[in-house]
Amino acid sequence: MTKPRVLISDSMSSQAVTVFEERGVDVVQSSKLSEAELFEMIGEFDGLAIRSSTNVTAELLEHASNLKVVGRAGIGVDNVDVPACTRRGIVVMNTPLGNAITTAEHAMAMMLALARHIPQANSSTHAGKWEKSRFMGMELTGKLLGLIGAGNIGSIVASKAIGYGLHVQAYDPYLTEERAARLGVKKVDLDTLLANSDIVSLHVPKTPETTNIISASAINKMKPGSMLINCARGGLVDELALLAALKSEHLKGAALDVYEVEPARDNPLFELENVICTPHLGASTIEAQEKVAIQIAEQISDYLVSGAINNAINAPSISAEEAQVLRPYLQLAQCLGSFVGQLTQDPIKTLTVTYGGEANDLNVSPLTVQVVQSILEHHSSYVNSVNAREVARDRNINVIEAHNEGRDEYPCRITVGVETESRSRSICGTLIQNRPRVIDVKGIPLESKLGEHMLYITNDDKPGVIGDIGSSTAERGINIANMHLGRDRRNGKAMVLLEIDESLGNEDLEHLRSLPNINNVRYLHFPALQ
């Protein structure tokens, strides 16, 4: 088996190379490639490991014919065209925890430096001055810190700030009251945070919702004499509005590690004495850089070798352990999705995947994605586990994930239901000895294993139908490996699932459709079960 290949195109700890090699991945490290050289080389690699220097653009991806994963050793993926990667089925990963402590410590250092004028006092003292009265500081103990964002980094800042005796409040739409209580912070809305905080510190990613979250309007709502810290992402703060607020002394000071334009070489904020600036140093410690290099190498290797997905930006996470557990369930999801996709010709309005029994205890997000992918593969030439949900959205398909907690005769059950303009249908499946089984089709119970070649037949429940099918297939040299029957009621609607040895042409299908009491005949192909 050919080893997967990974290119490290930015400067990175040598520990990353060691991890790749130990996990059976061929790795090339070349951090001084020109754009043209990168374009020429990238087609050879299954994975790309980067930091902040390499720009993964749509143009680069045009040359990346084998690329399956891009891994950013760090948090921010501003230098990666994530939508373009998603469209091409390329997983984008980062390392959100690797530099969380380092970045939180930098935010705390900026807070202390701002409160006590340490950089200014250091410069003055180095210049031979002794200006004690000029650098009168502020105690942090008892002050109110407002955190915008209480995720990985924000929660660490909260813990350290509480240790310094600060009171902490947080604005985060995803922060529950229970978690706020565990962190020892008060959950508030943004306006309350701005109005009451002595110090405001930003800990959110840059998204359309957070861009310029500290706008001119937001700054006007901030407590007079308060201070602002941004060690998160450039673009979260309207820098011109901040400049005006600092000049007017509405804000007492600001500490910035990130900027709208980087490298920041000519920023009017640098001219103000009440501003502390560092050149994007939040993650710049020896320990953090080793951590993120090792983590991204582990994540990329796990994905290329075992299919595990960790810390993906554009795909559901699956640990290596989960990948092993989920394997039979993923095959079941693939079969059910493929079954529905082959039967459904009209545009789908709603797709519902319902989990029951043991399936409720699983990480079902990858299973839902697998169902979506397997349906859409029969209607789209380019769909995969990464872009499946996006393709569904583009087609205005409403994907619903549901759970049934009721008792069931089967240990697990997955039900796939679709609605179109003209009809609705559902297919249920389970696992028996870790092999997929269909147990219900359109409300008709039956228990059928699936083979590579299947015939799906619906008929009226009349005597002689099964005999006609058997005779007709025998006459045409079609060998039946297995037959499974079901009906909704006596003399009602019935169904036959036949496993056959090879595919059928249209002529054979039309012949079967012509038999008495036959309503529909479809050939189904399940190549994953070969």
- Over residues 188-202, the pLDDT tens digits come to 999 999 999 999 999
Residue 462 contacts residue 491 (beta carbons within 8 Å) = yes
What pLDDT sits at residue 316?
Answer: 78
* Fold observed for domain 316-442: 60s Ribosomal Protein L30; Chain: A; (3.30.1330)
d(CA 115, CA 227): 9
Residue 10 contacts residue 34 (beta carbons within 8 Å) = no
Task: Single out the residue of 526, 528, 467, 529 nearest to residue 496, CA to CA.
Answer: 467
What pLDDT sits at residue 1?
Answer: 65
What percentage of the chain reaches a pLDDT higher than 70? 99
What pLDDT sits at residue 147?
Answer: 98
> What average pLDDT score do residues 163-183 get?
93
Task: Single out the residue of 49, 42, 150 nearest to residue 94, CA to CA.
Answer: 49
For residue 516, say if its preceding peptide bond is cis, omega within 30 degrees of 0: no
Coil, helix or strand for 126?
helix
Which of 488 and 222 is assigned the larger pLDDT?
222
What pLDDT sits at residue 190?
Answer: 97
The residue extents of the domains of the chain are 5-96+287-306, 100-277, 316-442, 444-530
Residue 4 pLDDT level (bands cut at 50, 70, 90) = very high
d(CA 173, CA 333): 33
> What average pLDDT score do residues 375-388 get?
76
Alpha-carbon torsion 125, 129, 133, 135, what sign? negative
Assess whether pLDDT exceeds 70 at residue 240.
yes
Say if 5-96+287-306 and 100-277 have the same CATH topology: yes
Give the number of C-alpha atoms closer than 13 A to the C-alpha of residue 405, restricted to the C-beta side.
Answer: 0
Assess whether pLDDT exceeds 90 at residue 259.
yes
Q: What is the pTM of this model?
A: 0.66
Beta bridge partners, 493, equal 460
Which range is least confidently modeled, 93-97, 317-321, 332-336, 496-500? 317-321
What are the residues whose beta carbons fall under 8 Å from the beta carbon of 66, sequence distance 6 or more?
A: 43, 44, 45, 46
d(CA 329, CA 24): 27
Residue 403 contacts residue 369 (beta carbons within 8 Å) = no
CATH architecture of the domain with residue range 444-530? 2-Layer Sandwich (3.30)
Distances (CA, A) of 98 to 17, 54, 72: 17, 19, 11
Task: Single out the residue of 2, 106, 19, 515 nearest to residue 300, CA to CA.
Answer: 19
What pLDDT sits at residue 81?
Answer: 93
What pLDDT sits at residue 207?
Answer: 79
Distances (CA, A) of 238 to 44, 74, 204, 259, 424: 42, 24, 15, 10, 50
What pLDDT sits at residue 379?
Answer: 74
Which of 390 and 50 is assigned the larger pLDDT?
50
Residue 201 contacts residue 107 (beta carbons within 8 Å) = yes
How big is the CA angle at 495 (ends 491 and 501), to the nearest 5 degrees? Answer: 145
Residue 430 contacts residue 332 (beta carbons within 8 Å) = yes
Task: Single out the residue of 420, 419, 439, 421 nearest to residue 429, CA to CA.
Answer: 439
What are the residues whose beta carbons fall under 8 Å from the beta carbon of 498, sequence distance 6 or more?
A: 454, 455, 457, 469, 473, 480, 482, 483, 484
Task: Single out the residue of 110, 96, 198, 213 nearest to residue 160, CA to CA.
Answer: 110
> Which letter, b or e, does each residue of 494-526 get, where b requires 16 or more Cβ atoms within 10 Å of its Cβ?
bbbbbbbeeebeeebeebbeebeebeebebbeb
What pLDDT sits at residue 529?
Answer: 56
Which range is least confidently modeled, 148-162, 245-259, 516-530? 516-530
Assess whether pLDDT exceeds 90 at residue 185.
yes
What percentage of the chain reaches a pLDDT higher than 90? 68
> What average pLDDT score do residues 447-476 get?
91
What pLDDT sits at residue 209?
Answer: 86
Lay out the sheet containing 91-93: strands in order across.
26-29, 5-8, 47-50, 69-72, 91-93
> What average pLDDT score do residues 477-498 get?
90
What are the residues whose beta carbons fall under 8 Å from the beta carbon of 105, sequence distance 6 or more?
A: 160
Instruction: Extract long-range pairs of 114-120: CB within 8 Å, 24+ residues apart.
Output: 114/199, 114/227, 114/229, 114/253, 114/254, 114/255, 114/276, 115/139, 115/140, 115/227, 119/276, 120/273
Catalytic residues: 233, 262, 280
**What is the average pLDDT score of the chain?**
92
Helix (H) or strand (E) holding 264: none
What pLDDT sits at residue 517?
Answer: 93
According to CATH, the superfamily of the domain at 100-277 is NAD(P)-binding Rossmann-like Domain (3.40.50.720)
Q: Which class in CATH covers the domain with range 5-96+287-306?
A: alpha beta
What pLDDT sits at residue 27?
Answer: 96
Assess whether pLDDT exceeds 60 at residue 222.
yes
Residue 38 pLDDT level (bands cut at 50, 70, 90) = very high
What pLDDT sits at residue 380?
Answer: 66
> What is the token pair recorded at 21?
């090699």
Residue 91 contacts residue 48 (beta carbons within 8 Å) = no
